[in-house]
Amino acid sequence: MTEHDRNAAAYWSANLRLIIGSLIVWALVSYGGGILFRPLLAGISIGGTDLGFWFAQQGSILTFIALIFFYAWRMNKLDKEFDLHEE
């Protein structure tokens, strides 16, 4: 295996870890906050509705948008780390 192949494998491995971590966070917020923890969050009111409903309707969307920006920022750092960034 050449140095280029090892570098490409390390880059892809780091990328997959980032993707899997982001999906886990999104799933926990979407399903955890909106479905699994809804009964626990039902007593907390935000904006006239309970917190579980807010997580299901708004929290997962806002988390997804935040994860997009986090992914782009982290991939830029990975690109620089592996010398694959654009000039």
Number of domains the chain contains: 1
Comparing 87 with 58, the larger pLDDT belongs to 58
Amino acid letter for position 40: L
Task: Round to whole Å and give the CA distance between 80 and 68.
Answer: 19
Domain interval for residue 69: 3-81
Query: Average pLDDT, stretch 62-80?
Result: 94
| 86 inside domain | no
| 87 inside domain | no
Task: Round to whole Å and give the CA distance between 6 and 53.
Answer: 46
- In percent, the amount of the chain with pLDDT more than 90 equals 39
pLDDT in tens, 5-29: 888 899 999 999 999 999 999 888 8
The confidence score (pLDDT) of residue 32 equals: 77
Residue 87 pLDDT grade (very low, low, confident, very high; cuts 50, 70, 90): low
| 66 inside domain | yes
Task: Round to whole Å and give the CA distance between 73 and 57.
Answer: 26
Q: How many CA atoms lie within 13 A of 46 on its CB side?
A: 11
Task: Round to whole Å and give the CA distance between 5 and 24.
Answer: 28
